[in-house]
Structure 1
Amino acid sequence: MQRPVRTRAALRGAAMAALLLVAGCDVLTDAATRLAFEIEAAARSLERDGDRVTLRHEVPSRPGECEGPYTVQLDKVGALVFWCRDAEGNVLASPGTSHHRRFVRTPETYYLHKQAGEPLVIELERRAGEVVIVDVQ
């Protein structure tokens, strides 16, 4: 006996949803969002004023994504943008987010120009009850 078309479609949809859940949310993120999640996790680790942490973010954070030279903007208004480039300098992707701004304050705007595979280093410190980006490299 063959199941109705709606039932088969519903089962396929449920199977796809389960597959995405098993694979994790990382399947649906981009380079900027993954960095924002790392900043959030690092910020949550700072419990007391004076606590510091150095976050070392490897790029590419997913194979096949942002493998060439790149630029990262950490803006004082809370934007985080990646510009992923090819060897000729053409922008291939420019994902952005503001997710991290709920967890850290960025007192100035940073533009970091990096070579392919060069890690991004961000230092955070808890000051007067808030976490602040104090240095980037």
Structure 2
Amino acid sequence: MRKLAVTMTTAVALAAQAAAAGEAITYVTSDSFEDASFALESAIVDRGLVIDYVSHVGDMLNRTGADVGSDVKIFDAADIYIFCSAVLSRKVMEADPMNIAHCPYGVFVAERGGQVMIGYRDLPDGPMAEVEALLDAIAREAAGQ
């Protein structure tokens, strides 16, 4: 019985860690969605990084809602800016090649219920902390914080 309790406690702790690792870090801004998007793009490009792709998630969700049987509007607008850093990517993947799972990096800007937020996905501790620090600096700058 004790072994089962320890196993269950360990499983719950691991599930909590996994859930926490995937959470988003967000910063609210008083800027409009358009101004926040421009600020985000500038914060990325001004660091010498190249935006590979802008995923228009909000548009996709709004366009496909009826197709999947939903009338729920999740975001008024939402975009994810996808980019990479050759320096940081090499560093974290030399430390652990499986850090490829976190590349490329993304910072989002979203508007919901009149509130605009900028954020990114929480990354695992260890070598990815340096990447998370970059994402945090970008998000804070774009949100004016």
The TM-score normalised by the length of structure 2 is: 0.30
- Higher relative contact order structure (alpha carbons within 8 Å, sequence separation ≥ 6): 2
The TM-score normalised by the length of structure 1 is: 0.31
More strand by share: 1
More helix by share: 2
